[in-house]
Structure 1
């Protein structure tokens, strides 16, 4: 069974960044990043939150955008254009089924 929520430490380890950077991005992209918080204030990230963080990571760390530039890109194109790894697997399985069906015909 797949997890529904991840801690900030797990997300930071997955992205290879410090938890403080994730908290900083959360403040910088406050309208976009809004993870759930439990009664004690601990952040709980869902798969969509992790996909958003991955997109921000790609823009800032890999493509070299400033935070303001990344915000503009996200406002212009939206962050919903990113797909989760689970969706990728589902799409690839459907494509494979389709191709196998073509091969049989």
Structure 2
């Protein structure tokens, strides 16, 4: 993940600041979830303008992408994702975050959830095939 690269098709430079609406739209994460993640992940600190308008820097967007991947794709809890990100060290680069996150195992509940999702997909595929026959 390279931060604000191909996600945004708004004509702004890759390193440009983005509003919470732009980040929300590009990543498919609702704004209230982004605001909640700011509370749970102290390292996620977008700039706040007068009136509380949030502006996300490229590194903020990269961090949101990492949190989203850990929580919604790899099945981490918020606490587990926070621990994985913190163990990446103070440098905070996306590559290091991804490497560090790979070394922290998902929770047993996340593994069960992943197995359940796979079983449900197999059932869905069998039902779909049965309806087509």
How does the TM-score come out when normalised to structure 2?
0.57
Q: CA RMSD in A?
A: 1.6
Distance between the aligned counterparts of 2:93 and 2:50, measured in 1? Answer: 31
Q: Tell me the CA shift for residue 59 of structure 1.
A: 0.5
From 29, 35, 41, the counterpart of 1:23: 35
Residue in structure 2 matched with residue 13 of structure 1 by the alignment: 25
> Which structure is larger by alpha-carbon Rg, 1 or 2?
2
Q: Per the alignment, in what secondary structure is the counterpart of residue 11 of structure 1?
A: helix
Residue in structure 1 matched with residue 102 of structure 2 by the alignment: none
* 1:76 maps to 2:76: no
Distance between the aligned counterparts of 2:85 and 2:17, measured in 1? Answer: 24
Q: Per the alignment, in what secondary structure is the counterpart of residue 94 of structure 2?
A: coil
Ranges in structure 2 where 5+ consecutive residues have no aligned partner: 1-11, 96-133
Residue in structure 1 matched with residue 71 of structure 2 by the alignment: 60
Distance between the aligned counterparts of 1:9 and 1:75, measured in 2? Answer: 26
Distance between the aligned counterparts of 1:13 and 1:50, measured in 2? Answer: 12
How does the TM-score come out when normalised to structure 1?
0.72
Distance between the aligned counterparts of 1:21 and 1:57, measured in 2? Answer: 10
Q: Tell me the CA shift for residue 8 of structure 1.
A: 0.3
Task: Tell me the matched-pair count.
Answer: 82
Q: Deviations over 1:8-62 (max 9, x none)?
A: 01000111111000001010002x1000011111000111100000000010001
Q: Deviations over 1:44-99 (max 9, x none)?
A: 0111100000000010001000001011111112472305xxxxxxxxxxxxxxxx
Ranges in structure 1 where 5+ consecutive residues have no aligned partner: 84-105
